[in-house]
Amino acid sequence: MLWGEEKVTSGVYPRINSWTKQEIRILRENYADHTMEELLKLLPNRSRDSIRKKRKILKLYKNKWWTEKETSLLKRNMSASKEELLRLFPNRKMGLISDKLRYLGYSRRKVMIMKRFNHKFPLTNEELAYMAGIVDGEGTLAIRGKGNSYCPEFRITNTDKSLIDWLNIRVHFSSMHLRKREINRRPCWDCLIRGFKMYNLLKSLLPYLIIKRKHAELLIKFIESRVNGAPIARRYNDYEISLRNRVKELNAHREVTA
């Protein structure tokens, strides 16, 4: 007889609300990796208090211990969809995965930021080399803002609409608008990517950049510092402010010592 099961002998009867062998088996098999809501569905005749009390008698515990490998995998895929997370962690329920994310300090806001941070740009090496030439000649890499509000900025300005359309298909600009200029000058397209979305694009372009290579390196360091910090909405530290100032100096065509 398993510990916690009701014992029935001659003249001794279990209580009216006693647990059946089937209910105990269900609780034993499912308590470790199921949420309370799921357990209530599996045991429709039991209340939360009843399940908690029986769990203590049976000495059942949640399977909450995450290995370093699991934790590292979760951090790398925190912005993945629910279906993808369940596929990556077949032995974990979504409730336990969400609890772990909250324990690691990844709020819904940070998860959304990480989703932008992990945005992929499916570009070939030839496309990256061509785009790097455009960025070197027509692009601006900066950290805009003032006070306690800075934002990385990737901007390309060009008068050729066909080129802008080609770029937009591949990188999906955050904003595009046609800017009118003086009478004797053609209107130009001003295209922009702001925030952490540009991170992987900068990393991919870096080997091909020449003029704007230093700008890209500084922006990458700035984004990494913001994303890896805790909490993500904290004030800018001295290192991040220095990165911003170095980018500003580069854009002002001043010499900067590394």
Condensed to tens digits (0 to 9), the pLDDT of residues 100-126 reads 887 777 765 666 666 666 677 788 999
Question: E strand or H helix at 108, and its extent?
Answer: helix 108-117
For residue 120, being part of any structural domain is answered with no
Same domain, 162 and 235: yes
| pTM, 2 dp | 0.57
Same domain, 39 and 133: no
Same domain, 139 and 228: yes
- Could you give the C-alpha distances from 152 to 120, 140, 199, 200, 243, in angstroms and in order? 17, 11, 9, 13, 11
Same domain, 72 and 42: no
For residue 119, being part of any structural domain is answered with no
Confidence of residue 258 (pLDDT cuts 50, 70, 90): very low
Beta-bridge mates of residue 179: 188
Same domain, 146 and 230: yes
Instruction: Give the residue numbers spanning the domain of 51.
Output: 21-58
Segment 62-80, tens digit of pLDDT? 766 777 888 888 887 877 7
For residue 5, being part of any structural domain is answered with no
The tally of domains found in the chain comes to: 3
For residue 81, being part of any structural domain is answered with yes
The answer, yes or no, to whether residue 257 has pLDDT greater than 70, is no
For residue 136, being part of any structural domain is answered with yes
